[in-house]
Amino acid sequence: MMKILLIGDYPPPYGGISVHVQQLAHFLRKSGAACDVLDIEPGRTPKEGALRVAGYAGFLRTLIRFSSKGYISHIHTNGHNVKSWLAIAVTAWVGLLFGRRNIVTVHSGLMPDYAKGRRGRKFLIRFASAPLEKIIAVNREIERALLESRIDPARICVLPAFALGERLQALPEAIDDYRRRFSPLIVSAVYLEKEYGTDLLIEACLALRKRYPRLGCLIMGSGGEEGAIRSQIAQGQGEEFIRLLGNVPHALCLSIMALSDVFVRPTLFDGDAISVREALALGIPTVASDAGFRPEGTRLFKPGSVADLISQIDRALQGERLALPGEDQNNLVALRDVYEGSARVS
């Protein structure tokens, strides 16, 4: 039986990496593998379905414990800072001490810019990656950055960190009632932090109400700017039609996205956002800032430009819904094949 330790963020909160790790853990367990999750998000609050440890020493002890039991470790991280690559290095080299060839998925669209920096960064990338069986890039830009860092092409594979999850059979009554009252419906899933551009979306929705008097907007996510965003909504007299839902389970998030007329990702800078891929796979017209990797079919607006955001949302509302070919469970099946290859090599 395969034994896998997944290392990365785990929900809540529901973000790109955390949702992917949760989906992958569920898939592996259903496939008959032994799968544990080590949640490395800061904090000590217990989470159902994941282990939490205190500090670097706790991380190292847990990694050693699972490696000694024959687990393959798969770390999911952004790859756009020193801390990320040091975590990769520890995972890789501890595994090698126990005869395991571990795996990393590099998630962040900002990783290529990081790799282009000081020469020492490419050395760190090579050192951290040396013992790994596979380095998984979630898009071609990250693959290209790894190749430019002189990573062996045979050890790199490209797999988007995306598998469209299950949706709810029935929505909460409050959501159903809201959908009946407001149309068109704009939906967004973001952290409520300055760099995520939620204030731009609020401003755009307030302006668009002049053209679409029944327009509604549901925003999923939490963060340190929630108070400021609520104040902005109140000042624009938008409390009735702009709702902050906070953190919601992923199945509910997908169900709400599926109801929408437009999905918006208004970030000032970004990576390969899983929510954008999900919206496109659901056939939802999708507007996102031109601030990171965006899949084909995304309507792009200039980061930070409310006028351009308004224009692109308006165009999306006038266009047809078009579902792109889904990148669904096949990505998870391909990951399972990577694990099986690693187990044979180890």
CA angle 154/156/161 to nearest 5° reads 150
Give pLDDT, residue 124: 98
163: nearest Cα among 320, 7, 323, 22: 22
Give pLDDT, residue 346: 63
pLDDT bracket for residue 336 (50, 70, 90): confident
| Residue 256 near residue 187, CB atoms below 8 Å | yes
Give pLDDT, residue 152: 97
pLDDT digits (tens, 9 = 90+) for 42-55: 877 889 999 998 88
Give pLDDT, residue 327: 47
| DSSP letters spanning 144-178 | HHHHHTT--GGGEEE--S-------SS--HHHHHH
221: nearest Cα among 182, 259, 185, 195: 195
| DSSP letters spanning 49-96 | TBEE--HHHHHHHHHHHHHHTTPEEEEEE--SSHHHHHHHHHHHHHHH
Q: Does residue 315 have a pLDDT over 80?
A: yes
* pTM of this structure: 0.82
Calpha distance 277→138 (Å, rounded) = 12
pLDDT bracket for residue 284 (50, 70, 90): very high
Report all structural domains of the chain as residue ranges with CATH numbers, in order of start: 3-163+329-345 (3.40.50.2000), 173-318 (3.40.50.2000)
Which residues, 6+ apart, have CB-to-CB distance to 28 below 8 Å? 2, 4, 6, 35, 336
139: nearest Cα among 96, 106, 177: 106
